[in-house]
Amino acid sequence: METKVKPKGKIFTSVSVGAATVWFSTHCGAGFASGTQELNYFASHSWYGWIFPVLSIFIIGINYYVGCQAVYLTDKQSFGDWALEIYKPFGVVGRLLLDISVIVTTLAATGACISAGANLFLQNLGVPMVVGTIVMFVVIGGLSIFGADLVRKNAMVMTVGIIAIVILIVVIGVVKFAPNYSALVSENYMNPAAPKWGVTGATGTTPASFGNSLLWALTYAGFQMAIVGGTAAAYVGAKSYGEAKGFAITGIILNIAMLSGVCLLLTMGMPEIYTNEEAKVLPTLFMVNSLDIGALKVVYPILLMLALITTGVGFCFAMVTRFGRYFIKEKEGGGKTNEKLVNSIICLITLIFCWGIAQLGLIWVVQVAYRYLGIYNWIAIIIPFTIFGWKNLKRLRAEHPEKLVA
């Protein structure tokens, strides 16, 4: 009979809160900070589109919770190791499915961050694209190779900055554009040419509906699932079973508040923000410029840069923890292979491939790559975690009763 879980100790700790900020900071990447994700998946559908992130983030959060508890119960930081336990009795197949998800998402998301970061340096400082790309390589790689503690600390510091800037922009924007939103609500606004959800190909447009909006929200939850690798890796060091609850509570509230806030702001810019092709490229910047406040035009690039860095770090860290151990060996006569050198090489190779994907452009990544990933991740992660993950957590608790009383 399974030991009844009565967690002791604090649930909100530096590890649980830190891992939650790694989740948010990795989530808050090029697509989030630019507004392209929020516009395509939520805001462009209807006056109530900004509410759907509640569903998306809740689905994401409960699955990340499974990953964090797997790290704690197995003492295995790499998702390649704990996946063998969570996907049982199909551990090897499950690990392969998760590998594909994390690798492809890393290439797409980090590639978009590198491209956007280099462009940001060019537009704001006149720095050549090549130099900007090298700077992004150095910063993301440097923050990814020194372990979970540095990743958590970096995420916590940068998250504070991101949250402060997002709140500032959203609050000012909501106050100014409240009449626009009231008009949308009063006329029960439904976009007559909303993005049409589809499995393959160019999906085109369709009159907005609850069902179409729901499919986009579920897809958003799907493509965000690959962040489980880096988020769970950052959870290493937890001292009690209950800390994962603190992680889930912090992460869900933080991500819903920030995502829904930006979605609400962009909804207030409908329909122009969606029909104006220039606005669709950087929707958040369009709304910031519409506020006509000079200081915000300086603050927004800072928000974008912080978001780009934290996302790149979260994904690269997942790759380091997954593959670094294969190259770190015991040397004859004592000692180990230089761990930081190995991690640096893995980061560099990862970033080079990411840069190649970046050449396809941010809009392609958000509209095409993320949609396919969203569908794939329901099959590869969300459904298996639901069917096998919770059952295997129960098994792991029974196998490690000492983990439940810490």
Q: How confident is the model over 117-172, as pLDDT tens digits?
A: 887 888 778 889 889 888 988 888 888 887 778 778 877 888 888 888 889 999 99
Kind plus residue range of the DSSP H or E element containing 194: strand 194-195
User: What is the rounded distance in angstroms from the CA atom of residue 132 to the CA atom of residue 118?
Assistant: 4
Q: pTM for the full model? A: 0.85
Kind plus residue range of the DSSP H or E element containing 252: helix 243-267
Sign of the CA dihedral with 3 first, then 4, 9, and 12 last: positive
DSSP-derived 3-state class of residue 227:
helix
Of 83, 61, 81, the C-alpha closest to 16 is 61
- Residues of the chain short of pLDDT 70, as ranges, are 1-9, 200-203, 325-326, 328-337, 360-367, 405-406
| Peptide bond just before 53 cis, omega within 30 deg | no
pLDDT for position 72: 95
CB atoms within 10 A of CB 137: 20
Of 270, 282, 350, 291, the C-alpha closest to 47 is 270
Neighbouring C-alpha atoms within 13 Å toward the C-beta of 24: 32
| Peptide bond just before 195 cis, omega within 30 deg | no
pLDDT for position 1: 45
User: What is the rounded distance in angstroms from the CA atom of residue 226 to the CA atom of residue 315?
Assistant: 9
Contacts of 378 (CB under 8 A, 6+ apart): 218, 222
| Range 14-322+334-389 has CATH code 2.40.160.60 | no
Of 137, 145, 146, the C-alpha closest to 352 is 137
Of 371, 373, 355, the C-alpha closest to 113 is 355
User: What is the rounded distance in angstroms from the CA atom of residue 5 to the CA atom of residue 303?
Assistant: 41
Contacts of 118 (CB under 8 A, 6+ apart): 129, 132, 133, 135, 136
